[in-house]
Each structure stands twice: as structure tokens, then as C-alpha cells.
Structure 1
Amino acid sequence: MNAEFIEALLEIEKEKGISKDVIFDALESALISSYKKNFGSSQNVEVEIDKVTGKVGVYANKTVVEDVENEYLEISLDDAKHIDNKYQIDDIAKVEITPKNFGRIAAQTAKQVVIQRIKDAEREVIYDEFINRENEIITGMIQRISKNNVYIDLGKTEAVLPPTEQIEGEEYEQGDRLKLFILEVKKTTKGPQIVLSRSHPGLVKRLFELEVPEINDGIVDIYAISREAGSRTKIAVHSKDPNVDPLGACVGFKGSRVKAIVDELNGEKIDIVIWSKNIAEFIANSLSPSKVLKVEVNEKEKSALVVVPDYQLSLAIGKEGQNARLAAKLTNWKIDIKCESQYEGEI
């Protein structure tokens, strides 16, 4: 190895963000293995690389003794003094044993180590970057589709959108750009695996944070979200500032903010409801867009009986019970819905 190699390492450090010291450490370990493989492994050896010239030296660590019994592990005091006059009995002397043709072996080993360390370090950099971004939103482009898995190009790496995290009925085509939720980042033998989601409620939350400055600034809070991806989402919000209308902030001027989110989710319906400390009021709000006449709560069982106008019963329950189901998930209460005539007939 030579000074050009050192320059190459400096370039790698600058471009890839991989410390040259990390490569040197790995290279020294690999060169020790190469030496033992080619020249025998009975000696206690270490390798030193001059970080300026690139010169490689192999040294045997030998204990300084009066009488040498094992020449691979011991050195006489006289011989040690020839290396350095300061050596005393029981010191560890460093004896250079660099073979003549070790430079060629070192160059081959260096190439392999550098390639592998670059791969490892790039994987580590990607893992470190994305592990801190779990539960965040990211924009990526569909690179390919294989066995129902959608592979997303994130620039530095590729991530996967598995079938379980896709929106039912949503079509994915190569080259499409999507906003996605970073669900999980895992270390694997092949490098970091980044699992994305389009169906997670967290995606809706992050989209609202992007579109609504009041949410991003912490003035308006998202209390809860319930979602049936591709069909409908309910989101409960409340304002910390009495002068800020949380519903108006989320909807935006002429519905512009919520429309941007609906468009991103390909027409998924979004109900924005006001959260309230008063659970009866919150449950009534959660059944939007249906009107609610009365809410009777059972705190002990966390259940509620909701009375709605006769003509709004089907709206309150929703198609295949969706509205009631999402409201129950949003409030975390069991909700029983009755129309006014049913309720009065039971009184």
C-alpha cells in the first residue's frame, strides 16, 4: 500500500462519511488474519499501518526473558536491548517480522476490507438515519412491484410497502410518488430493512401535521384517530387556544387543507370532530355527520346509548356499521345507537 491508498481513504471518508480510522482498524484485523493464514499462527502478532505513507508493518509481541524456551513468544533480554535499550525482563517487546511479499497480500486484503467496510458503514449510516425517523412521514417513488410487495426508492436506500400495509383498492404503478409512514426499521444480515405503510392511522396524523400549521405548532392537538384505510377516517382534535377553532384550522380556507389530505389518500373520507372532556359530548361529536339527540353514558362499563332522529339512524350507523364502528374506536367506548321512536317506545 502507498500514499495513494491513504488519499483514497480520505476521499472515502469525505464522500461516504466513513471514518478512515474505522477502515484502518478493520484492515489491521484483516491483515493479522492474512498473516496467520499465510505465515503460521503460532505468534502473537499485530499489524501497524503508517497513516501517512501507507507502509504496513507486522510485529510479533514477545515477552522479554533470561532464557528463551519458545522463540515465537519470547525474546532474550540481549536481543530485546538491540531493538530498544529500555526493555527489561517481563516487558513485551515488539519485533518486526514483516515478510518481503507481504505488501502484495496487504494490497489485496485492503481492497476487500475497504469494499466490505464501505458496504457495512453505508448500511449503518442508513440504519442510524432511519431508526430515528420511525413514525415519521416520507416521500418516495415506486421503484418496482414484486409478489405484491411495493418497493420504494428513498434515494439512499430502498424500502418496502408490504401488502398488509397497503390501502385496499389503491393502485400502485412504477414511477408514482407517494407519501408514506415509516412503520419499522430493522437490522438484517442484508442491511437495514425499512417497512412503510399507507394504511396506518399515523399517516393521517402526519399529513395533518404537514398541512395544518396550528397542529405542527402545538396549538391544536390531535386527540385520537380511527381509520379504515381507503374508505374513511375519523380524527378528534381540540385547541389549547380558545381563540383558535380546531375544526376550522384543520379544514382550511374553503376546505383546502383537508382536501390536500383527501387527495393524497385518493379520496378517503375524513371526518374531523371536536374532542371534549365531557364524554357524552365527545361521543355525540364522534358520530358526525349524524345529529345526536341524547347520550346516556355508563361510566362503569364505558358504554353509551345514543339516540338519533329516526331519519338519521342509517347515517349514524353508516354503511355496514362503519360510522358507529369508527366512532367507538375513536372514543374507546362501546356505543349503542337507537332512533328516537325506538327509544321512546322503550321508556
Structure 2
Amino acid sequence: MTAMETESSETVVTKALSSTGPDIDEVVIHPLVLLSVADHYHRVARGTRKRVVGVLLGQSHRGKIDVLNSFALPFEEDIRNPSVFYFDHNFLEEMIRLFRKVNTKETIVGFYSTGPSIRPNDLRIHDICKRYVRIPIFCIIDIRPDRQELPVKAYKVVEQVHHAGQAVTRQFDHVSTQMGAMEAEEIGVAHLLRDINDPTVSTVMSLIQGKLNGLQSLTEKLLTAKKYLQACAEGKCKVNTEIVDHLQTIVSLLPNLNTPDLVHAMIVKTNDMHMAVYLASLIRSVIALHDLVNNKIRYGEDGMQDNDEALAQEEEKKEEEKLKDTGNKKDGGK
């Protein structure tokens, strides 16, 4: 059985495996999960082409799954033969027993992998997780540092029948994913970022870098939408009305920048911002020059103290040494 992602919408009869219970509409990943997965990868598979696999713990409520915690699993697979892999069931059972003693509210909600893509063994791992949870989710957590978009993708398994009389195939279907955190987690992440912050990088530079990363991610999304629309126009894939409606909504929300009033307002706003930056630069330069003049006055041209003061201090030291020497001679003569 091969696991694949559905890129184009086809006329299929789809039935989610979660039909026996509430369907999964949204997955929320908490920061502790990302930290645990990154630590797991760097301990086990750093510098290799291997991936790591683990179990996700959390809570489920009305189709929304909060992934709060995770733990690693001993996992090995043969790259040449995808059907061969090792999954430690005894370790999984023992970890489940220990976690129930610590926190009974957190239950198994699925499993994770560092991917970065879906592999054939993922459906078999999904079947193993179904022994512990009715509707397991599958999360691919991309730990590569050069990724600018959200590093998490969530999937659920669906059954698809393309034509009547054909066999049912199982595939992974995307689930809406977002990052979330409770107040205590937000405070912990803020302290962690404060500890790893680079003091050589100013706050302005970090803000600009964040804006650039956001624009790069937006560019990737727009290119994906462009490729999809071109494929639809060329007849390579069928049009999905839901996707087209979303794209039309995005286009409708864009402001009309060709109106004279808006152009004038943008120019005025830009000039005001540049004026504030210019004044701040002037004030900073004047303060720096003022400090430089004060230093010259205090320490002299060569960076030392005034010559007169230095000579006076040296003469005072010599006189004190002479007095001490004369006092010592008198004491010795007595």
C-alpha cells in the first residue's frame, strides 16, 4: 500500500475513517511538542538522512485536537526496502503506562515524523496507533532551519473510491493546522528566546528579518496558487470551486491603490515616517558628538587625562615617597 498526498481534487466518493466519531477539523500544536521533536532529531538522526518517529499526546474536543506533549519511540526503517521497519511496541506500552500515572488527561492523539514528506510506512504506523486511539492524526514536523513557513503539517486518513466497483484506497488528507499556547507556555517561550537572543542583533534588525520571512512565505503561497490556476486553465486538473471562492475572496479584499486619495494618503504617511526617522538620526548624531566633545575635554586629545593634572599627581606622589624615605632613615638612625 502506498501513501500519497492528493494534490488535485477529483470526482471521488470520500469517506473519512473518523465517521464512527466526531471528524477532525483542526489541530493545534503547542510549543513543547516542537522543542521535544527538535531535541529527538538532534539526539538520534542529526547529520543523517534518517527520520525520527514519536507519539503525540493531547486532548480532543468537538473536532479540535490540542497536541500538548510528545515522546520519542525507537524506530528504524530500511531505506532500500520501505516495507521493512522496526517499531518497539513494548516501549510504547511502557510509556503509555507511565504517562497515565503522571497525567490522565493527556491521551494518545496520533504520531509524528520529521519527514519531510509522507512515506509508505506511515499508513502501517497509523494502523498501529489505531489500537490506542480511534482517529489518530499524523503530523510532519519539519526541523530544517531554512524553512520560513509553518513547520507543521497535519493529516488524517480517508478512504477513497474513484469509480464504482473499484477497490477502496486509503490516503492522507490535509487537516487545518495552527500554533497555540497557554499563558504559562507563552511565558516559558519568551524566557527561552530571551536566553538565546543574539546581543549583536538589534531589535530593529530582528523586526526587519521577521517582515522579510513573512514576505517570503507569502511569495511561496502566491506561487502555489499561480501554479494551481495555470494547471486549471491548461486542463491538467479540474477546478475546485471552494479553492476558487477563497482566491476570489482574497482578491476582493485587496485595496484599490489607483485612487488619488489613497495615493496621496500613502505619500503623506510615508513622508511622516521618514521625517521621524530623519529626526531620530539627527538627534542620535548630535548626542554622540556631544559625548565625544565631553570626552575630549575630560581626557585630552590623546585619550588621557589633562597634562597639568597628570604632572601634579606625579609630583605629589614623588613628594610622598621622599617623606616616607626620610622618615625611614630617621627611624633607622635612632
Shared topology, TM-score over 0.5? no
Identify, as 1 or 2, the structure richer in strand: 1
Given the two structures, how large is their TM-score scaled by the length of structure 2? 0.21
Select the structure that is richer in helix.
2
Say which structure, 1 or 2, has more relative contact order (CA 8 Å, 6+ apart).
2
